[in-house]
A and B are shown apart, each in its own frame.
Chain A
Amino acid sequence: MKPAGFDYYAPRSVDEAVHVLADAGRDCRVLAGGQSLMPMLNCRIVSPAVLVDINRIEELDRVEATDASLTLGALVRHADLLRNPQIRAGWPLLTEATAYVAHPAIRNRGTVCGSISHNDPAAEQPSILVTLGGTVVIAGAAGRRELPAEKFLTGIMSNALEPGEMVVAVRYPRPVAGTSAAFVEFARRLGDFALAGAAVMLTIRKGVCEQARVTVVGMGDGPFRAHEAEAVLTGSALNGKTSKDAFTEAVAKVVAGVEPSEDVHASADYRRHLAGVMTARALQTAFERSGGA
């Protein structure tokens, strides 16, 4: 349970980090909060030749909220996010979901960008980035590029980073007026990895759902964006009577669409069932928060 040997670099700037990464090539890992990478190193699931510790790069430890968007640098920890009143007010879905991330000591070290880069299918942060329509800011020797969440996340524990690149920030657009959202998840114990969870964002104006986002956590491949459920909801009138039918139909689309895997924690059928229950609860909660009933 000890990591294999590696060369250790702790650069002070993104430019310096990118140079180190360019020289290191493929056999290299970026260390931020380390709450996923350190277990993998300790268990020798990965044994990179080079470890680039970005914790000394001050420019990455920043939260920037504007009228247009929220930017979280690569050193913003889950716990920093939870304490931030600007995020709670402007992006309450992010705060609500982050409270489910692991345990206090893990939240104190683990970073939002790290969780998104790691893309564990049971993790909350990748799904929230997808639900909010966020982007990932990437730095490399050739400069910077910004990818939409669904282009960045390329499958189970995989992302679109090229060798020599690193994530420097994630960006969430500010939800438009009339938007309400909810996140729920189910785990066997507090703080455990979710067996299933659902994030919902509804934009309702004059009783009509103008935009809907439904993302399910804990399914096989990473965030499951329920496009068919969103299509059912978008354009539908949502009031006390019609919402029930629309939500039932949307939940049915989720249950039919998810492709959960089976493991020691839960069978695929149970996960599929939970995906429906979580989606139903998230839809109802988001709807109630919009003032509907």
Chain B
Amino acid sequence: MAREQRIQVTVNGRAYDKVVPVRLSLADFIREHLYLTGTHLGCEHGVCGACTVLMNGRSVRSCLTLAVQAEGAEIVTIEGLRAEDGTRHPMQQAFHENFALQCGYCTPGMLITAIELLRENPDPSELEVREALSGNICRCSGYQAIVNAVLAVARRGAAG
């Protein structure tokens, strides 16, 4: 049984065809095989949320998904949020305006989680925002500003 396998996967709109070890996580595939280092790895066991990406439109922990499981899937990472002309995603812009990041380590996961939340629930209460973000840990104690940023996007009705 081969310990490597060929996968075809679309990441941020670009198609890739790669041979990967079967035990490789999607997170390490994104970072070390595609060199998209915006996806961060904190705990590597699903607790911190930093590695969260969209897989077929749903947020997943890329450290708890194998690269081979992404065969045929469409992945969106933080590098895929910007518009082609370089304009920030409305959520990125709101994080910028609300000082919703300090060291930036948790930010990729926060953005992906917040974008999925507003797509499913465009007008969340503050508690609903906090509940949705509860699986993403920020150690700079920036939650208040992050919640403000998400609510600001919701108020503008620009969830994207």
A interface list, Cβ under 8 A from B: 1-10, 31, 34-35, 38-39, 41-43, 51, 53, 55, 79, 102-106, 108-109, 189-191
Contacts and interface: CB of A to CB of B under 8 A. Distances in A.
A106 B44 contact: no
Given A43-B45, A108-B60, A38 B23 contact: no
Given A34-B64, A105-B113, A39 B1 contact: no
Given A105-B58, A190-B134, 13 more contacts: A2-B28, A4-B23, A5-B21, A6-B23, A8-B23, A8-B66, A8-B68, A34-B69, A35-B61, A41-B23, A105-B49, A105-B52, A109-B61
B5 A39 contact: no
Contacts of A108: 58-60
Given A4-B23, A7-B1, A190-B134, A104 B116 contact: yes
B92 to A, nearest CB: 19
B46 interface: yes
Contact of A109 (B23, B28, B64): B64
A104 B45 contact: no
Which of the four size classes fits the interface of chain B?
A: 20 to 34
B37 interface: no
Q: Which of B5, B132, B135 has the most CB of A within 10 A?
A: B135
Contacts of A31: 66
Interface of B: 1, 3, 5, 21-23, 25, 28, 44-46, 49, 52, 58-61, 63-66, 68-69, 113, 116-117, 130-132, 134-136
Nearest to A102: B135
5 contacts: A5-B21, A8-B1, A31-B66, A51-B22, A104-B59
B154 to A, nearest CB: 16
A5 B132 contact: no
Contact of A105 (B22, B25, B61, B130): B61
Contacts of A10: 68
Does more than half of chain B's interface fall in helix, strand or loop, or is it mixed?
A: mixed
A104 B46 contact: no
B131 A191 contact: yes
A8 B4 CA distance: 9
Q: Which of A39, A55, A105 has the most CB of B within 10 A?
A: A105
Contacts of B46: 35, 38-39, 106
Contacts of A191: 131, 134-135
A57 to B, nearest CB: 13
B43 to A, nearest CB: 8
A158 to B, nearest CB: 21
Contacts of A34: 64-66, 69
Contact of B45 (A4, A42, A79, A109): A42
Q: Which of A53, A79, A109 has the most CB of B within 10 A?
A: A109
B134 A3 contact: no
B60 A7 contact: no
Contact of A106 (B25, B28, B61, B69): B61
A5 B24 CA distance: 9
Contacts of A1: 44-45
A55 B26 CA distance: 15
